[in-house]
Chain A
Amino acid sequence: MDLTNEQLLDMYVTMNKIRTFENRVAELFADGKIPGFVHLYVGEEAVATGVCASLTDQDYITSTHRGHGHLIAKGGDIKLMMAELFGKKTGYCKGKGGSMHIADLNLGIMGANGIVGGGPPLASGAALACQYLGNDGVAVCFFGDGASNQGTTHEAMNLATCWKLPVVFVNENNMYGISSCTLNSMCVPNIADRAAAYDMPGVVVDGNDVIAVCEAAAEGISRARQGKGPSLIECKTYRHRGHFEGDPCAYREDSELEEWKEKDPIPRLEQKLMEIELLTDAKINEIKSGLQKDMADAEQFAEESPFPDVSELTEDVYT
């Protein structure tokens, strides 16, 4: 797959945008500005970025509780995201959802999801709508290694294959469901091996190599668009931070984290792009300072926005 310079740069910017957002969220959470649970995507940016590069606004994604990266990669507005994390009225969900429930149906983002394994049936359903309406859309289901062991995932994959639905199941295998390591939670080496059970293609990719992810996803998405049915892509990756902010990570070795930091997807792409002279130090600085400014704007927007009025408490339950 030949990616254009523009596509490569876009992916570099998107990954940095996610990283910058997540790092700032970590600080704001530590400062007590963001309540509740936040699950950060730091280290996994290549997956959402590589996959969403082949999607349009009429395509759907379902996300997970670690959803900020998916939202940003699918075109989500960081101002509205940040305001939502602050619980403000101007946020994506008017402050009613928070980090685990951000959605933007205009962009095909069917929501982050607080339930592990909640998303796969929804993705198959969105794919069913695309197939039914004949609108050329596809659905991508992001799900983690934890969700891969849920019954809903099996049901969604089986039905998707029976009905040849245009859906791509993108597994983000970051090796841990909180403390539960995949070494103890599954008995095959790869989640993608399970694709054989559905007679769908299953591939394993280096989830920290955005170009590899992009190529695999483009193939699965194109297959889905052509009406050839679902596929499964397992992206091997790692979360640099704890399961949630505040997780001391006593269940894993520091050395493991250090090893994975060596494979950080952002410096890897940066180095590649510098080698082909698409990036220079000056350009990198320009991108990063631009993102810092966007982030400061988003934060200011969130800070200055009002909280929802208590009168809104019982609104939006029914249509």
Chain B
Amino acid sequence: MPNMNFAQALNDAHKVEMERDANIYVAGEDVGVYGGIFGVTAGLLDQFGDKRVKDTPITESAIVGTAVGAATAGLRPVIELMFVDFIGVALDQLYNQAAKMKYMFGGKAKIPMVLRMTCGAGIGAAAQHSQCLEAMFMHLPGLKVVMPSTPNDAKGLLIEAIRDDNPVVFLEHKMLYALEGEVAEGDFTIPFGQADIKREGQDVTIVATANMVHTALSAAEKLAADGISAEVVDPRTLYPLDEEGIIQSVKKTHRLVIVHEEVKFAGSGAEIAAIVAEKAFDYLDAPILRVAAPFCPVPFSQPLEQAFIPSEEEIIDAVKKVME
């Protein structure tokens, strides 16, 4: 399998799908000539032309709304909103229109669209360009929510997202774009709702998403040196969520730590913790702990930003606590 980075893997997924299906178009701010500010759509304009790769004005409501309308009328839009933080100005088109249309119309609509957005802190981009908002999207029936952590997952999940007949929110953590890894060639998909065990272990389950998967993996490495065997589970899609996969791991390890970069309060981890408490309480030997960001906007100053992002040490501390 060839080696490529996360951004190149996403780019490859676009190419594979656009070659396969002429009704797929890509639109967004700076996706064409610029190739996407993180390079994800690089080269698509040259290869597929401006009918299929559309640079838009800065007009998020219209980017999302035209995609919803076009999807309803037979196309398969793959649109980019640049930063997830910008969803606020376009939210109605996503949550009142795209997400609800099928249900409101009694099942008669089909809205096959993918909304790609970058999320996450780590580059000093401050409060309006660094958020993780996955819990907000998880809370809206009608949407699917994807959050990959590796180049291979990114490619397989994006192809799956493009082929899905529902609106899919595809969240790309910006610290992952340069991450290299082996990526399967050509056409392949990763089904939604299938968690991936990124590291097997016996003593504790760490459920982590996006960039936190890698922080959790290095924490697990250090814990191993202390004789603690941690299993790192990456849900990969937050809706649908692989409840069974997470529960199976907890039944094995009897301990659960959940790690995510969005704020802890009412974050995705709260839902995962509640599901495990409801369905596997008897298997737990310790309280479920969450390691997540504090309840504040993402700060700019580097020491503050680093303190905001959950760290390896915090994960190790939490694991040691549930191991007591």
Contact = CB atoms under 8 A, between A and B. Distances in A.
A118 B68 CA distance: 11
Interface in A119-152: 120-130, 132-133, 139, 151-152
B65 A122 contact: yes
Contacts of A110: 69, 72-73
A156 B65 contact: yes
Interface string B54-76: 10110101101111111111110
A115 B97 CA distance: 9
Contacts of A113: 97
Interface residues of B, number: 43
Contact of B165 (A92, A125, A127, A319): A319
Contacts of A121: 61-62, 64-66, 68-69, 93, 97
Contacts of A319: 102, 110, 112, 164-166
Interface in B122-167: 141-142, 144, 164-166
B46 interface: no
Contacts of B107: 94, 315-316
A317 B142 contact: yes
Contacts of A93: 104-106, 108
Interface string A213-251: 000000000000000000000000000000000000000
Contact of B59 (A115, A155, A318): A155
A120 B304 CA distance: 42
B160 to A, nearest CB: 14
B244 interface: no
A74 interface: no
Contacts of A95: 106
Interface string B86-118: 000100110011000111111111101000000
Given A121-B68, A156-B62, A318-B166, A111 B57 contact: no
Contact of A105 (B65, B70, B109): B109
B170 interface: no
A111 B104 contact: yes
B177 interface: no
Nearest to B64: A121
A125 B71 contact: yes
Nearest to A141: B69
A103 interface: yes
B83 interface: no
Given A125-B68, A318-B166, A155 B96 contact: no
User: Which range holds the interface residue count of chain A?
Assistant: 35 or more
B96 A103 contact: no
B25 interface: yes
B69 A94 contact: no
Nearest to A133: B74
B123 to A, nearest CB: 29
Nearest to A127: B69
B51 interface: yes
Nearest to B142: A317
Given A103-B109, A105-B108, A162-B57, A129 B93 contact: no
A107 to B, nearest CB: 11
Contacts of A111: 101, 104-105, 109
A152 B92 contact: yes
A118 B101 CA distance: 12
Given A125-B65, A132-B51, A97 B72 contact: no
Contacts of A317: 102-103, 141-142
B302 to A, nearest CB: 35
A156 B51 CA distance: 18
A125 B57 contact: no
Given A132-B25, A152-B62, A317-B142, A91 B106 contact: yes
Contacts of A318: 102, 142, 144, 166
Contacts of B142: 317-318
Contacts of B144: 318
Nearest to A100: B104
Interface in B252-269: none
A218 to B, nearest CB: 22
Given A97-B104, A319-B166, A132 B70 contact: yes
A217 B166 CA distance: 34
A123 B273 CA distance: 42
Contact of A155 (B62, B74, B110): B62
A120 B65 contact: yes
B68 to A, nearest CB: 6
Interface string B214-233: 00000000000000000000
Kindly name the residue among B23, B61, B64, B74 whose own CB sees the greatest number of chain A CB atoms within 10 A: B61
11 contacts: A97-B106, A101-B105, A121-B66, A125-B65, A125-B68, A125-B72, A155-B61, A317-B141, A317-B142, A318-B144, A319-B165
Interface of A: 60, 62, 91-97, 101, 103-105, 110-111, 113-115, 118, 120-130, 132-133, 139, 151-152, 155-156, 158-159, 162-163, 315-319
Given A60-B69, A110-B73, A125-B71, 4 more contacts: A105-B108, A113-B97, A122-B69, A130-B73
The 8 A-B residue pairs with the shortest CB-CB distance, nearest first, are: A125-B69, A121-B65, A316-B107, A129-B73, A93-B106, A94-B106, A125-B66, A155-B62
